[in-house]
Structure 1
Amino acid sequence: MTDLLIATRGLTKVYRGGVRAVDGVDLEVRAGDVYGFLGANGSGKTTTVRMLLGLVLATEGAIELFGEAMPRAGASVLPRVGALVEGPGAYPHLSGRANLTLLDSTDGRRRRGDRRRRVGEVLDQVGLDPADRRPVRTYSLGMRQRLGLASALLRRPPLLVLDEPTNGLDPQGIREMRELLLSLNREGTTIFLSSHLLAEIEQMSSRVGVLDRGRLVLQEDLATLQAPTGLVRVRTPDVSTALRLLDGRVVDRGEGHLVVRSPDAAALNAHLVARDIRVTELGPERRSLEEIVLAASESA
């Protein structure tokens, strides 16, 4: 499977005392994915991310990035990975621009003028002022997160590995981060995004994995998980009349709505309207990501 940029087999981390933080995880992240890696705090997400990047050694199992074994191939693989893990690191007495310039100076392939231009580009890209000379110690948490993402983007990596990148951002900042990441993905960047924010993941991801107490309990394309269920939600002020008409096909009812078993939403609508049932809204019933995650965790 050559299109896998991240693949793990039986990935396990056991800490002193026999605590299994990660337990037999098989990840498959394909080129072009926005992969939402979900789980409650303490589920093992950050430990998994750290093992992917060689920051923590696995107790058991195998990791491949770009088809190469990690951490052995780290020197050749990691320059192609942009990462933001457990908050950004920076020299607090230097400005954001100075921090990025210092980081980029480790890339001997870029000339000074090109480096200056690239640093300005990524600062602007993440919503930081390239002319801001304030030291990083004066930055808010949200600004630090933006700076961390800027450092991850410096080398235009084909793979981004991000751990809670919206931490500390206000709602506008979260939206801007989402738009930026989706724009990068449209341009060809594969994104592995660890988060506990279901609403954000649902708006961004093409594929999700759910970690529960160290075990991967679900991994699937989001479109597959949210495919129509064969049920149709009908909103109508004529609930009682519709209930009698659809006797035996109604699986749930509430204030102003019914959930009906029907393979054809259009035919159901025509059937109701022909019998003078006022339909204000009708559409296929789909599970929310929250429902999907809760069901996967409860059945594990």
Structure 2
Amino acid sequence: MSGTAVIRTRGLTKRYGELRAVDGIDLEVAEGAVYGFLGANGSGKTTTVRMLLGLVLPTEGSAEVLGAPMPASRTTVLPQVGALVEGPGAYDHLSGRLNLALLDAAGPDPLPRRDRRRRCAEVLEQVGLDPADRRPVRAYSLGMRQRLGLAAALLRRPRLLVLDEPTNGLDPQGIREIRTLLLALNAEGTTIFLSSHLLAEIEQMCTDVGVLDRGRLVLQDRLDQLLRPSGLVEVHSPDAHAAARLLGDAVVEVAGERMLVRADDAASLNHHLVGSGVRVARLGPYERDLEQVVLEASSVPPAPVETRAEVLTS
């Protein structure tokens, strides 16, 4: 990861009694990145986000946001950060526009009334809500509430957006619209730290990925590096055991009729196998998707596979 870090933690830890909700993590989020923060429910993602924003005090370790220590620098840092954490909060009896106006008026540097009205309308339109809608928020759907929370996060044109499951409750069209909006904001220079369980969305949006598993940061890298070509060929054959004996040390693993083989040229490998009497049902470069990367990094037990030694001795 390159560039100036807008989020950096060192040994960040949060304990609740004997439970280590977050266990000594070292995050590094570069300026201009779209950083996907992944993990199962209960892995510690929201606790981490809350520590970054100064809402929860760490038990050990340190956190810096926009180059300043948190929570000591909350008053100077938070006005530059837009956040949506654990669902949007709002006054249910007021409209979305009035909620945003009150939020701005209560802030450290409120806009003049005319500018406030214009800015509230702008962000509502950005997230797909009608600025003229006078319905109280209690009449909003979950997806509309989520859009309002995102509008609140955008109100002050933040340098950094910290979002916890921002597409929760949205339909596929809404998810696509929010994705397009976030990518446009990033193109204009906003750094985005995005906590989500939607791997397909992360894979389409993010430049960098961190994976949290039971409070530990088990993976952190650029997405293009994680998904780079593996140098392996995936072979599906009803004669997998015979093929493994033929190929020897080039075989990485065998699982049923599926094999992973080290090979520079898939066509030559296919020719060798077929010429040796091995039936090949399918063959091609092995490419991992983000789901496979996350599962391999986390504590989720992988599907049983046979090692090459087990194949050769069977």
How far does residue 234 in structure 1 lie from its aligned partner after superposition? 7.5
Alpha-carbon distance in 2 for matches of 1:108, 1:205 = 32
Q: Which moved more, 1:175-184 or 1:117-126?
A: 175-184
Q: TM-score, length-normalised on structure 1?
A: 0.86
Give 1:203's aligned residue.
204
Structure 2: unaligned runs, 5 residues or longer: 274-279, 302-314
Match for residue 63 of structure 2? 63
Cα offsets for 1:138-197 (capped at 9, x unmatched): 101110000000000011101000011111111111111111111111111111011122
Q: CA deviation at 1:258?
A: 7.8
**Alpha-carbon offset, residue 111 of structure 1:** 2.2
Counterparts of 2:79 and 2:266, CA distance in 1: 50
Does residue 154 of structure 1 match 2:174? no
Task: After superposition, give the CA deviation of every residue in 1:96-116 in whole Å (9 maximum; x if it has no partner).
Answer: 011011112235452222211
Structure 1: state its 5+ residue gaps. 273-278
Using the aligned pairs only, state the percent identity.
69
> Which residue in 2 is equivalent to 1:191?
192
The alpha carbon displacement at 1:216 in A equals 0.7
Shifted more, 107-116 versus 72-81: the winner is 107-116
Deviation at 1:2, TM superposition (A): 7.0
Q: Call closer, same or farther: CA 1:127–1:266 in 2, change over 3 Å.
A: farther
Q: Tell me the CA shift for residue 298 of structure 1.
A: 3.1
Q: Tell me if the contact between 1:158 and 1:188 (Cα under 8 Å) persists in the aligned partners.
A: yes
Q: Which amino acid aligns with 2:123?
A: V
Compute the RMSD of aligned alpha carbons: 3.1
Deviations 1:28-53, CA, capped at 9 Å, x for gaps:
00001111111110111100100000
Contact (CA 8 Å) 1:81, 1:161: kept in 2 or not? yes
Q: Which residue in 2 is equivalent to 1:124?
A: 125
Alignment of 1:38-53 (within 5 A): 38-53=38-53
Offset from partner CA, 1:201-251 (integer Å, 9 cap, x none)? 11111111111111111111111111101024579xx998xx98xx62676
What stretches of structure 1 move > 4 A for 4+ residues in a row? 249-255, 257-260, 264-272
Change (3 A) 1:206 1:282: farther
| Residues 3, 31 of structure 2: 8 Å contact kept | no
Task: Give the equivalent residue in structure 2 for 1:114.
Answer: 115
Mean Cα displacement is larger for which, 167-176 or 92-101?
167-176
Taking the aligned partners of 1:233 and 1:176, their CA distance within structure 2 comes to 36
- Matches of 2:100 and 2:63 in 1, distance apart? 29
Aligned AA for 1:73? S
Q: 1:265 to 1:130 in 2, by over 3 A?
A: farther
Matched pairs, number: 293
Q: How far did residue 284 of structure 1 move?
A: 3.5
Matched residues in 1 for 2:32 and 2:148: separation? 24
